[in-house]
Amino acid sequence: MKIALFVPCIVDQFYPHVAVSAVRILRRLGHEVVFPVEQTCCGQPAFNSGYHAEARRVAKRLVKVFSGADSIVSVSGSCTTMVTCFYPKWLMDPALAGDVRHIASHMYEFSDFLVNQLQTVDVGARFPHKVTYHDACHGLRELRIKSEPRQLLAAVRELELVEMDNAEECCGFGGTFAVKFTEISTAMGNDKITGVCATGADYLTAGDSSCLMHLNGLLKRQNIPIQTIHYAEILANQ
């Protein structure tokens, strides 16, 4: 299958190995992966901040870049949500309507794609560590992805998956919320970390690099020796 990769800007800039991991896994499974280099961002930062005109210009570009692709995979639940849930409700442009519908119904979050489209749970990974999974909100409550990443992680050799009590509670990132309401965001993040620490896990994983950036920032500042890692990187490890 020919798969077009959508790499969110935060992954492109800060965590490129998350996307590299996705490429490796998909190729290992025998698929062709393409990366349309004209892509930039889905527009979510401006959209969530209330700057819809600005977001619209950026979103329209993304629609055009991916208009020819039949399977689009993204390593972010949040950016996938922007395209699959919000574009159809918000990006009203008669000239683009067909393309918007197409991209919205052909983009998948990575774990959803592996488990539900490729029907693959075991991707041949090995990761000898104790890991806990954080349900990032967009993936969980907009895309209803809950079991997929857990199934994938459970199939990783030597990986011990432990659940935290507050797995479904928001980590407090929330895009610009994290900087506009630093104190509230931090309080939420610290409560999340308390739940992570209680599991005794060495690694905290999730499907959104943005949540992990926030949580990793808190962990590092407090010298807590728990590593954060996108689950795609775990799945790429052999």
Partner 1 sequence: MHDFKQAAHDNLTNTHLRQTLRKSTRTSLLKRSQVVQELGEDTWQQLRRRAHQIKKETIAHLDEYLEQLEAHLTEQGVQVFWAETAAEANDYIIQLAKREGASFVVKSKSMTTEEIDLNPALQAAGINPIETDLGEYIVQLAGERPSHITAPALHKSREDIARLFQEKLGIDYTDNPQELTKIARQKLRQKFLTAKIGVSGVNFAIAENGTLVVIENEANARLCMTLPDVHVAVMGIEKVIPKLEHLPTFLRLLPRSATGQKFTSYVSLIRGAQSSGKAVHLVLLDNGRSEMLADPRFHQALYCIRCGACLNTCPVYQRVGGHTYGWVYPGPIGAILTPKYQGLTQGKDLPFASSLCGSCTDICPVQIDLHHLLLWLRQAVVSSGSDRHLIEAVAMKFWTITMISPLLYRLASRLVRWLPQRAFHYIPGWTETRDFPSPAPKTFREIWNESLK
In terms of C-beta distances under 8 Å and separation of at least 24 residues, what long-range contacts does 187-193 make, across chains too? 189/214, 189/215, 189/218, 190/218, 191/166, 192/134, 192/166, 193/218, 193/219, 193/222, 193/224, 193/226
Convert residues 42-61 into a mask of x (bound to partner 1 by CB under 8 A) and - (unbound). Answer: -x-xxxxxxxx-x--xx--x
The Cα 186–Cα 168 span in angstroms is: 17
Decide: is 146 part of the binding site for partner 1 (CB under 8 A): no
Cβ-based nearer residue to partner 1, 154 or 184: 184
139 sits near partner 1 (criterion: CB under 8 A): no
Stretch that binds partner 1, among 99-107, 114-122, 149-157, 178-186 (CB under 8 A): 178-186
Binding window for partner 1 (CB under 8 A); candidates: 98-106, 115-123, 133-141, 155-163: 133-141
Nearer to partner 1, 142 or 160 (CB): 142
Q: Closer CB to partner 1, residue 44 or residue 111?
A: 44
**Minimal CA–CA distance to 67: which of 91, 89, 48, 44?**
91
| Residue among 131, 218, 229, 236 that touches partner 1 (CB under 8 A) | 218
Considering just the CA atoms, what is the radius of gyration of the chain in Å?
Answer: 17
Residue span binding partner 1 (CB under 8 A) among the ranges 32-40, 103-111, 125-133, 229-237: 32-40
Of residues 65-124, which lie at the interface with partner 1 (CB under 8 A)? Answer: none
Pick one of 141, 155, 197, 202: the residue that binds partner 1 (CB under 8 A): 141
Q: HSE-up of 28 (CA within 13 Å, CB side)?
A: 16
2 binds partner 1 (CB under 8 A): no
3-state SS, residue 2: strand
Under rule CB under 8 A, residue 186 binds partner 1? yes
Least Å distance, CB 238 to partner 1, is 17
Q: Find out whether 67 and 30 touch, Cβ atoms under 8 Å.
A: no
Out of 94, 95, 183, 225, the residue judged to bind partner 1 by CB under 8 A = 183
What does 169-193 look like in DSSP terms, one character per residue? S--S-TTTHHHHTHHHHHHHHHHHH
- Cβ-based nearer residue to partner 1, 41 or 159: 41
Task: Provide the 3-class DSSP secondary structure of residue 128.
Answer: coil
Asked if 120 and 85 count as a contact pair (C-beta separation under 8 A), the reply is: no
CB neighbour burial string for 168-180, b if at least 16 within 10 angstroms, e if fewer: eebbbbbeebbee
- Residues of this chain that bind partner 1 (CB under 8 A): 7, 9, 11-17, 19-20, 23, 35, 37-41, 43, 45-52, 54, 57-58, 61, 137-138, 141-142, 168-170, 172-189, 213-214, 216-218, 220-221
